[in-house]
């Protein structure tokens, strides 16, 4: 529960939005999905989470290929929200460029990183809220 008594419906098991090849949900549709998942969260926290999800998903769409999997999960032990976006990497990858989007993620998150495996890349970020 939040200090103000609100509940946080995102569970430790996490929730996911899967975007398959050929799907092209608009930014508004993704924002509605995210708003549904964050019902009961403080508005300022929802904005921060929205920026992080938007930047990670935008990078996946720009530099990789589908399917894209956006996952949210609360780690109740460490009291953090984990945002992760998985994608299928392109066959040629020239490395991560810390553009404005990743600088925003770096500024808003307690930590973030990239887990690259054959056939998928996951960019994850942890957010800590008071």
Residue 98, pLDDT score: 60
Identify the sign of the CA torsion 18, 23, 29, 31: positive
Q: Domain 15-127: give its CATH code.
A: 3.30.565.10
Return d(Cα 93, Cα 62) in angstroms, integer. Answer: 12
If we measure between CA atoms, which residue out of 123, 2, 3 comes closest to residue 74?
Answer: 2
Show me where the domains of the chain are located.
Answer: 15-127
Higher pLDDT, 101 or 38: 38
Return d(Cα 114, Cα 9) in angstroms, integer. Answer: 26
Order of strands, edge to edge, in the sheet holding 80-89?
15-19, 64-75, 80-89, 120-127, 111-117
Token duo for residue 90: 């392109």
Q: What is the pLDDT of residues 56-80, one digit of tens each?
A: 999 999 889 999 999 999 887 778 9
């Amino acid at each position: 529960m939040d200090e103000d008594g609100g509940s946080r419906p995102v569970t430790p098991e996490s929730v996911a939005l899967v975007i398959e090849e050929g799907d092209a949900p608009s930014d508004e549709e993704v924002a509605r999905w995210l708003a549904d998942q964050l019902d009961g969260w403080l508005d300022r926290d929802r904005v921060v989470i929205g920026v992080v999800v938007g930047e990670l998903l935008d990078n996946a769409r720009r530099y990789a290929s589908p399917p894209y999997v956006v996952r949210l999960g609360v780690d109740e032990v460490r009291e953090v929200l984990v945002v992760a976006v998985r994608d299928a990497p392109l066959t040629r990858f020239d490395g991560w460029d810390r553009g404005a989007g990743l600088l925003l993620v770096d500024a808003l998150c307690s930590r973030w990183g990239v887990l690259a495996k054959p056939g998928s890349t996951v960019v994850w970020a942890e957010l800590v809220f008071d």
